[in-house]
Chain A
């Protein structure tokens, strides 16, 4: 059973960089895409971006200028960096695995971490 676990600071100061790591256990990262998604009362669920195990990335256009996702398959981890944060970035951040069928992967999410609350303070 694949498990994902987010880790990182729960409090980040405004204008600084938010950094989170997702550790994957119970399965290999190979051949899968891995996403970050956040949820806030104001904006609901918002897809942030994904990374392929080989390092290819794609980001939500609304966040692209501030987001970076990286992967370290030797540690079974992938990470999120979001720069210049404001109060609007306060949310529960989830890491998730993109769904793959028998021949192709899609931008749906079949395994999720439990989520971690990140609060941006002024």
Chain B
């Protein structure tokens, strides 16, 4: 099983600041990685797939990068609605399997 480690666990920032979140895989996942945003009491929302592609309706301030074992999610300028928990997720083709990281909480400083 491929393990995903996210860092930091918590990121304290102010609105308007830049946020950079990290996700490291225990072995190469190529570009097969997604990012989700989850707010309290809500289901996760797909932000980024295949490492760098924004999902439908996702604002341009969200961008993803990386390949192999090291990935990042950048929020260029934090809006009030961006304070949430963010998860990375990798997918394997065979056997089909998906695993999630433990999450990074972006909180208001």
| A contact set with B: CB distance below 8 Å | 35, 44-47, 50, 58, 60-62, 94, 96, 99, 106-110, 112-115
- Is B49 in the interface zone, CB < 8 Å from A? yes
Q: How far is the CA of A25 from the CA of B55 in the complex (A)?
A: 21
List B contacts of A110 (CB < 8 A): 46, 55-56
Q: A44-B103, A45-B87, A99-B49 are in contact. Are A107 and B98 (CB under 8 A)?
A: yes
- In the complex, the answer to whether B87 meets A61 with C-beta atoms within 8 Å is no
Q: Within the complex, what minimum Cβ distance (angstroms) separates A7 from chain B?
A: 15
Question: Which of the four size classes fits the interface of chain B?
Answer: 20 to 34
- In the complex, the answer to whether A106 meets B49 with C-beta atoms within 8 Å is yes
- Given A47-B100, A61-B97, A109-B44, output 6 extra A-B contacts at Cβ < 8 Å: A35-B98, A46-B100, A47-B99, A107-B91, A108-B89, A109-B36
- In the complex, the answer to whether A45 meets B100 with C-beta atoms within 8 Å is yes
Q: How far is the CA of A108 from the CA of B49 in the complex (A)?
A: 7
Q: Within the complex, what minimum Cβ distance (angstroms) separates A114 from chain B?
A: 6
- In the complex, the answer to whether A50 meets B103 with C-beta atoms within 8 Å is no
